[in-house]
Structure 1
């Protein structure tokens, strides 16, 4: 018997955690990190009422049921589940960074598309939450 064979069951969790961390980091590079360069926050206020977003796309990365958002008068807070912490710091995006919002309907699904200004470039931001759409301030135009 090969000397490594008895250790394989113990090495699998280490391999799995390493692979999961690598995938989380790569996904963050597709959009979240571009926003984090401008809008990363140290910590989320404990009193912030947050809701889970069923669908969110930042740049080229899709986040389904892993991003929580909170709305304040200053801006939008975004956090991921704790297991996705690698490459995904909390974000606080001011409302002034949001561009106009367009509504897109396909069959029974409605999504909202905007761009977030980040240091001269912009990052596409698509979400499907009607509650988040209703929470947008009046200063952000919404094209139905």
Structure 2
């Protein structure tokens, strides 16, 4: 079986299992990186969002066979100390309630800020619309993204 080489949170890894295994299960079950969550299993809720080569990616529907040579960043790799501007803004704005979707929300916001360091409200709405928060903290999410972008709270 062909081994797949990739980088996860700055560490070079190789995967030799089922090439159709979703990235999410590799991260959670083999690397014990449990920040990305299983939500819907069809890429619609965003709880499993990670960055692949800087792009927000639904890891529950991304097969390992597509990961050769890719760079993956999970919530655990966003900041070693949990002090990324988005993580700090999430805390300042009291975003989480149940918290289940929050790592996916933050990773989606990280892609947005990587592309648009000073997003408008419309930019935030458009970028974040595929991430579902069952607790409905969307206003606080928008507020935290603006804060992380240096736009105040």
The two structures have a TM-score, normalised by structure 1, of 0.32
- Structure with higher Rg: it is 1
Higher relative contact order (CA 8 A, sep 6+): 2
- Greater per-residue strand proportion: 1
The two structures have a TM-score, normalised by structure 2, of 0.31
